[in-house]
Amino acid sequence: MLADIEKAENGYIARFERHFRHSVEEVWAFLTENEKLAKWFSELQVEDLREGGLIKFDMQDGTFAEMKILELSTHSVLEYTWGDDIVRFELYPEADGCLLVFIEKIKVMTAHTPKDLAGWHVCLEVISALLDGRTVESRKAEWEKWYEKYVRATAEVS
């Protein structure tokens, strides 16, 4: 399901919702434990898991971007900077698992925004597959499929 994208007071909000048949603890581990994080986003590494702590992004050129953790509530909220934007994961327990809400607070819509949104979309699909013991055959093919949809979706709100 495509993210909901809407204009906000200071930019835009993209909101993804995913229901998992897994506990908040299991999903939280994929967001915060480096060995599990690497399975769905190999460039990310938690350096210091606390408010004010860091998550590093490997730029694949020998450098790292540092993303500051803005809010952290174990098994519930992880929010950090993402370039000029902010990403936020929220987990809510449900009777048969949990709800993950992923929000990207976007300051300025650019030509790169649909690429990021399609990337996050695929990341959430990969987390779901990993939790279920499946694999996503071609992340690139999945990304290409969703990228065109996000190009249209961002054009509608900007």
Task: Give pLDDT tens digits along the chain (158 positions).
Answer: 899 999 999 999 999 999 999 999 999 999 999 999 999 999 999 999 999 999 999 999 999 999 999 999 999 999 999 999 999 999 999 999 999 999 999 999 999 999 999 999 999 999 999 999 999 999 999 999 999 999 999 999 98
Structure tokens at 57: 């992004």
Instruction: Collapse the DSSP code of 39 into the 3-class scheme (helix H, G, I; strand E, B; otherwise coil) and give the result.
Output: helix
CA-wise closest residue to 13 among 119, 88, 118, 98: 88
Please give the C-alpha separations between residue 83 and each of 87, 107, 123, 156, in angstroms, as whole numbers.
10, 10, 18, 23
Please give the C-alpha separations between residue 97 and each of 6, 22, 27, 37, 149, in angstroms, as whole numbers.
28, 4, 10, 20, 29
> For residue 54, what pLDDT is reported?
97
Cβ 35 vs Cβ 14: under 8 Å: no
> For residue 158, what pLDDT is reported?
82
> For residue 85, what pLDDT is reported?
96
> For residue 56, what pLDDT is reported?
97
Q: Has this prediction a pTM greater than 0.85?
A: yes
Residues with Cβ < 8 Å from 38, sequence gap 6 or more? 44, 45
